[in-house]
Amino acid sequence: IFIDRVRDYNLLSGYEDYKIENSNPCAEFFGNAYNSCNLGSINLYHLVIDKFTPNARIDWKKLQEITDTAVRALDEILDYGYELQPLDENRKCIDDWRAIGLGIMGLADMFVAMGLRYGSDESICLAEAVVHSIMEEALRTSCQLAKEKGAFGKFDWEKTKKSKI
Residues 6 or more apart in contact with residue 106 via CB below 8 angstroms: 43, 44, 45, 46
Q: Is 35 a known active-site residue? A: no
| Positions of E strands within the chain | 22-23, 30-31, 39-43, 48-49, 57-58, 101-105
Answer yes or no: 38 catalytic. Answer: no
Is residue 28 annotated as part of the catalytic site, yes or no? yes
Coil, strand or helix: which one is 110? helix
Q: Which residues, 6+ apart, have CB-to-CB distance to 141 below 8 Å?
A: 67, 68, 71, 72
| Residue in 10, 16, 22, 24 annotated catalytic | 24
Q: Which of 16, 26, 83, 158 is catalytic?
A: 26
Catalytic annotation, pick one of 21, 22, 28, 125: 28
Active site positions, annotated: 24, 26, 28
